Amino acid sequence: DAGVTQSPTHLIKTRGQQVTLRCSPKSGHDTVSWYQQALGQGPQFIFQYYEEEERQRGNFPDRFSGHQFPNYSSELNVNALLLGDSALYLCASSLITGGSSPLHFGNGTRLTVT
C-alpha cells in the first residue's frame, strides 16, 4: 500500500519563475493538504483540498494556488517565486469522513529559489 508520494524530490528555480509540485495521496484518502516548512521551522499550513475544491487556506498570498484532480491527486503552484519561498513543501493526505483520521505526510519536495 503506497503512502503519500510527492514529485519532484528536489527543484531549483530562479526568482520570478513559476513552479508546480505534485502529490498523490495515500490509497483510500480523499483530502490533500499542503504545508510549507522553512529551514529550522515547523510546517505551516498552506491550504486543503477536498472534492476538487479549496476548503481551507492558511496565511499565504494568492501566488500560492492549487488543484485537486478526480483521482484525488493534487498540485501546488507557486507564481513569481521569491527567495523566501525556498522551503520543504509537504503534502499530507487524510480521509475526511474518518473524523479522527490522522494526516499522513509525504517526504516532501525541497524547493530552492536562487
Partner 1 sequence: AQSVTQPDIHITVSEGASLELRCNYSYGATPYLFWYVQSPGQGLQLLLKYFSGDTLVQGIKGFEAEFKRSQSSFNLRKPSVHWSDAAEYFCAVGGRGSGGSNYKLTFGKGTLLTVNP
Looking up cell 529559489 gives: 113
Residue 100 binding partner 1, by CB under 8 A: yes
Query: Which x/- pattern, by CB under 8 A, does the window 34-63 give for partner 1?
Result: -x----xxxxxx--x-xx-x-xx-x-----
CA angle 62, 10, 56 (to 5 degrees): 30
Work out how close the CB of 31 gets to partner 1 at its nearest, in angstroms, rounded to a whole number: 5
Q: What kind and span of H or E run contains 92?
A: strand 87-94
Q: Which is nearer to partner 1, 14 or 39 (CB)?
A: 39
- Assign 88 to helix, strand or coil: strand
Closer by beta carbon to partner 1, 47 or else 81: 47
Specify the residue, 42 or 70, whose C-beta has the smaller distance to partner 1. Answer: 42
Q: Which of 23, 24, 66, 108 binds partner 1 (CB under 8 A)?
A: 108
Question: How many amino acids of this chain bind partner 1 (CB under 8 A)?
Answer: 32
Amino acid identity of residue 42, one-letter, is: G
Whether the Cβ atoms of residue 23 and residue 4 lie closer than 8 Å to each other: yes
CB of 107 to partner 1, least distance (A): 4
Could you tell me if 46 and 38 are in contact, meaning their C-beta atoms sit under 8 angstroms apart?
Answer: no
